[in-house]
């Protein structure tokens, strides 16, 4: 579609841009103590954006001369990102860490990041892929280092910027090789060009695929590109840690699914139930090994952590590993499983991080010791945290179980050559039971029982925790509407 015509389908992004500008200008008029009011402007803009997405209907087309795709698949991820952003903004109101800073910019930068994530979810041109990843990365560097006076936050942003710039540079080099091989920047034309290549160029193709994987792997924190994750997650403001562990990961998966299936798969990719890799590229084998490595490393290191925040950082690596299991399957069921899991993961992981923020505000720490006796002292927070831990482990009747169920079902259905992967996945889920239940053990069985009972004094905290806990519980046994929504969203743009 031509540039001018595309604008009429680009309302959500246009509204977001206006939101950012309004928020930046509004911030100028607020005194430092009032700058958190910018959040309401941003929330209003996000609500309008959601409305615009809903109004757009489920058209499937390309925008801006084939650089961006408009399809239900990208809409699904946009809505996911919006939910995560709204919840993170609401939690930021009660965050202790942000109190000493002017927070107007914080909310504007979050809105810019949403814009980048929207582009990530819908890019179908390697130039747009690179631009979107950079917009998201640069904004995350800012947010990770937002606590200027806090050395941990500084260190987190330094490590993030070095790893981020390095891996996007490697990815760019891979993209340049791919551009040279195919002579185009559009996914669909690339697929046609690659299937016409002679076997002599396979080596160059594999090198470029591995380089590009470095960029994507960094975004979803897959092993061996995960080294930044624990330090950045531990040092950043906890609200941002929660956000980074969900939203960019979801958009990264959207991009990974689109890119590798469309560029390195045959033309039946994403249309039919199963498909083939082009030119015998060992893509499924590579992804299978990476998935197994990612979950194992994430889980084994998570066991040894003293800080709950850092434990959740490693466990988020492990969750990326579970989702990666479905990437090499080359089936529609696999993509469906990833989308279901991301939706469930959004609620349970944000919930776990938000409880950490709350406990941090009460005790000043985020180690396992700081959770001692909390289950008796704050019954509401204790029950909710137990629910999130159950769900992250994947036990019924919680959302995590349903997410894992669809993923493992897809892996088993794909045939005997993937049984080992499912086996590694089950083994890892059992390992994760140990460290998730350590939190529950500290909350209920260690430390003295408190005589007094505390409830969250702010209604906002109760509201946010309930709005995460209720879906985590309900989706465990009543998930038909969600499952329908996901399967309706499984319509991916295939070409002009």
User: 117 to 136, contacts with other proteins by CB under 8 A?
Assistant: 126-127, 130-131, 134
Tokens representing residue 395 in the block: 């036990």
Torsion of CA 302, 303, 307, 308, to 10 degrees: 70
- In the complex with other proteins, the residue whose CB is nearer, 453 or 496, is 496
User: 78 to 97, contacts with other proteins by CB under 8 A?
Assistant: none
Tokens representing residue 250 in the block: 């979801």
**Rounded to whole angstroms, how far apart are CA atoms 60 and 67?**
14
Site string for other proteins, 212-251 (x = CB under 8 A): ------------------xx--xx----------------
Which of the stretches 168-176, 275-283, 404-412, 424-432 binds other proteins when contact is defined by CB under 8 A? 168-176
**Rounded to whole angstroms, how far apart are CA atoms 279 and 139?**
38
User: Could you write out the three-class secondary structure of 201-254?
Assistant: HHHHHHHHHHHHHHHHHHHCCCCCCCCHHHHHHHHCCHHHHHHHHHHHHHHHHH
Closest separation in Å from C-beta 155 to other proteins: 5
142 binds other proteins (CB under 8 A): yes
The vertex-85 CA angle with 79 and 86, nearest 5°, equals 90
Contacting residue, 47, 52, 96, 152, with other proteins by CB under 8 A: 152
Contacting residue, 44, 57, 180, 224, with other proteins by CB under 8 A: 180
| DSSP codes joined into one string, 73-110 | HHHHHHHHHHHHHHHHHHHHTT-SGGGGS--HHHHHHH
Which residue shows structure tokens 């009460």?
A: 362
Q: How many residues sit in the footprint of other proteins (CB under 8 A)?
A: 42
> For residue 136, how far is the Cα from the chain centroid?
12
Closest separation in Å from C-beta 153 to other proteins: 9
- In the complex with other proteins, the residue whose CB is nearer, 184 or 494, is 184
Contacting residue, 39, 70, 117, 175, with other proteins by CB under 8 A: 175
158 binds other proteins (CB under 8 A): yes
170 binds other proteins (CB under 8 A): yes
**Rounded to whole angstroms, how far apart are CA atoms 365 and 355?**
12
Site string for other proteins, 182-201 (x = CB under 8 A): -xxx----------------
The region, left, alpha or beta by phi > 0 then psi within -120 to 50, assigned to residue 186 is: beta
Contacting residue, 72, 145, 217, 252, with other proteins by CB under 8 A: 145
- In the complex with other proteins, the residue whose CB is nearer, 162 or 453, is 162
Residue 136's contacts (CB-CB under 8 Å, 6 or more residues apart) are 113, 116, 117, 120, 219, 248, 251
- In the complex with other proteins, the residue whose CB is nearer, 43 or 131, is 131
Closest separation in Å from C-beta 65 to other proteins: 11
157 binds other proteins (CB under 8 A): yes
**Rounded to whole angstroms, how far apart are CA atoms 438 and 435?**
5
173 binds other proteins (CB under 8 A): yes
172 binds other proteins (CB under 8 A): yes
Closest separation in Å from C-beta 312 to other proteins: 14
Residues of the shown chain interacting with other proteins in the complex, contacts defined by CB under 8 A: 126-127, 130-131, 134, 137-138, 141-142, 145, 148-149, 151-152, 154-158, 161-162, 165-166, 169-170, 172-173, 175-177, 179-180, 183-185, 230-231, 234-235, 306-307, 310
């Amino acid at each position: 579609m031509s540039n001018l015509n595309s604008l009429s389908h680009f309302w959500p992004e246009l509204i977001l841009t206006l939101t950012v500008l309004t928020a930046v200008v509004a911030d100028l008029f607020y005194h430092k103590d009032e700058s958190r009011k910018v959040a309401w402007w941003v929330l209003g803009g996000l609500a309008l954006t959601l409305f615009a997405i809903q109004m757009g209907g489920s058209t499937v087309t390309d925008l801006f001369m084939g650089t961006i795709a408009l399809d239900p698949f990208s809409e699904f991820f946009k809505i996911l990102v919006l939910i995560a952003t709204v919840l993170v903004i609401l939690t930021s109101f009660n965050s202790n860490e942000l109190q000493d800073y002017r927070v107007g910019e914080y909310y504007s930068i979050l809105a810019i990041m949403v814009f980048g994530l929207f582009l990530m979810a819908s890019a179908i041109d390697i130039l747009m892929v690179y631009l979107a990843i950079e917009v998201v990365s640069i904004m995350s560097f800012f947010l990770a280092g937002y606590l200027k006076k806090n050395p941990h936050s500084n260190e987190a942003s330094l490590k993030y910027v070095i790893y981020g710039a390095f891996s996007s540079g490697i990815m760019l080099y891979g993209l340049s090789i791919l551009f040279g091989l195919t002579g185009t920047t559009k996914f669909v034309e690339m697929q046609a060009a690659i299937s016409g290549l002679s076997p002599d160029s396979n080596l160059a193709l594999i090198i470029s695929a591995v380089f590009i994987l470095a960029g994507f792997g960094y975004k979803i924190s897959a092993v061996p590109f995960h080294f930044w994750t624990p330090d950045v997650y531990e040092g950043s403001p906890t609200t941002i840690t929660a956000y980074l562990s969900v939203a960019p990961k979801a958009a990264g998966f959207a991009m990974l699914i689109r890119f590798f299936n469309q560029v390195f798969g045959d033309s039946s990719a994403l249309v039919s139930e199963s498909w083939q890799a082009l030119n015998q590229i060992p893509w499924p084998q590579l992804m299978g090994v990476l998935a197994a490595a990612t979950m194992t490393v994430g889980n084994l290191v998570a066991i040894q952590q003293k800080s709950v925040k850092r434990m959740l950082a490693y466990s988020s690596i492990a969750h990326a590993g579970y989702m990666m299991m479905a990437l090499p399957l080359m089936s529609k069921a696999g993509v469906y499983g990833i989308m279901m899991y991301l939706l469930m993961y959004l609620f349970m992981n944000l919930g776990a991080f938000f409880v950490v923020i709350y406990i941090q505000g009460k005790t000043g720490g985020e180690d396992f010791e700081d959770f001692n006796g909390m289950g008796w002292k704050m019954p509401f927070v204790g029950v909710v945290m137990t629910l999130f831990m159950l769900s992250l482990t994947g036990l019924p009747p919680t959302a995590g179980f349903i997410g894992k169920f669809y993923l493992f079902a897809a892996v088993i259905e794909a045939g005997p050559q993937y049984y080992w992967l499912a086996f590694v996945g089950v083994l890892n889920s059992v390992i994760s039971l140990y460290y998730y239940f350590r939190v529950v053990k500290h909350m209920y069985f260690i430390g003295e029982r408190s005589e007094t009972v505390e409830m969250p004094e702010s209604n906002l905290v109760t509201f946010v925790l309930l709005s995460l806990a209720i879906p985590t519980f309900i989706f465990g046994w009543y998930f038909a509407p969600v499952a329908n929504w996901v399967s309706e969203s499984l319509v991916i743009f295939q070409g002009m």
